[in-house]
Amino acid sequence: MSNNSSQIGITLSALHRRPTMKDVAEAAGVALKTVSRVVNGETTVAPDTLERVQEAIRRLGYRRNEGARELRQGRTQAIGLVVRDIADPFFAAIGRAVEHRAEEDELVVMIGSSHDDPARERQVALGFTARRPNGLILAPIAKRQDYLLPDIAEGLAICAVDRPAQGIACDAVLSDNAAGIRLAVEHLLHHGHRRIGYLGDDPAVFTARERVAGFRATMAGHDVPVNEHEVRLGSPGPDFVAAALRTMFDPSDPVTALVTGNNRITAEVLKHLAGRPEQPAVVAFDDLELAELLRPGLTVIAQDPVAIGDAAMDLLAKRLADPTREPRELRIPVRLIPRGSGEAPPTN
């Protein structure tokens, strides 16, 4: 123990409360203003005084009151993240990327799920903005996000992910949905398929519209006709998938391959295909956990959630530095991972 530490007569156990800068000043035998200078990293403190104050801080376990400092600055050095479901591996990976970047910048991350409920989205987002974060990253579900206009007017930086926001001007980071479906279709065409079915989400969903448009455009670009019974869109669920597959596998005119538009649809499709004597080729948009352990392994179009989270944090930083800059929309590339299911040849 140093000689300086022996001069410190106050300990945390003696205080029975959170120590303050005043306690540190008393313990170190210096003025309160001197402690403030040390805490805020100013370089005008003499070396021996600096050592004495730092020893007092260590002994007492003092921590700067970030809440009071942030109230003075008007923001709470935090980032809000509202996603559809934090348990979804895609959004969990975005969350991890945001947390990693926030840790580097000494920011706290508040994370909440909307559970595909517009009212819940609004409740969570406004609950976060009421705490005055520096920025908000939002995976939009509601038809409009103009409930955030007052916060934007007060300087809140907002970035949408997965889908663009509506009713507000803000940055957005999206996957290249149409390009991903193009990769899937061209992969199946390359392996000899011409009867390719598509199962996608409700067309009211932005990503669903982009992906089915990519499917139709790619088929047309290769002069492959699309029969309407081969394209099915609806809310993911066992009833929708079962009905769609019955139509697509009509014995008189069955498809030989499938493209699935998201991981929830893919999971239902795999359940319904289990045990079929003849398996169609399948390429799924979105990777699934343990997809490589299936037999055959599942061929997927993989998004890059880490890149999405990183890009969203970059855009928030640029927005905070220049609130008047024009909103940007970034498209993050996707990639095809062949594992077997998408390489099967036509069976009829």
Instruction: Please write the tens of the pLDDT for every residue from 131-182.
Output: 889 899 999 999 999 999 999 988 899 999 999 999 999 999 999 999 999 9
pLDDT at 13: 44
Spatial CA neighbour of 257 closest among 218, 207, 293: 218
pLDDT at 37: 84
pLDDT at 182: 98
Residue with tokens 């559970």: 115
Identify whether 47 is preceded by a cis peptide bond (ω within 30 of 0): no
Of the ranges 11-25, 33-47, 160-174, 229-243, which one carries the lowest mean pLDDT score? 11-25
Residue 260 near residue 301 (C-beta atoms within 8 A)? no
Of the ranges 15-19, 53-57, 68-72, which one carries the lowest mean pLDDT score? 68-72
- The residue-averaged pLDDT of 210-222 equals 97
Residue 294 near residue 273 (C-beta atoms within 8 A)? no
Which has the higher per-residue pLDDT, 91 or 44?
91
Long-range contacts of the stretch 13-20 (C-beta < 8 A, 24+)? 15/60, 18/63, 19/60, 19/61, 19/62, 20/62, 20/65
Alpha-carbon distance 156 to 129, whole Å?
A: 8
pLDDT, tens digit, for every residue of 282-326?
999 998 877 777 788 899 999 999 999 999 999 999 998 888 899
Alpha-carbon distance 245 to 345, whole Å?
A: 19
Alpha-carbon distance 177 to 319, whole Å?
A: 25
Residue 55 near residue 66 (C-beta atoms within 8 A)? no
16, pLDDT greater than 70: no
The interaxial angle of helices 263-273 and 238-248, nearest 10 deg, is 60
Which has the higher per-residue pLDDT, 295 or 257?
257
17, pLDDT greater than 70: no
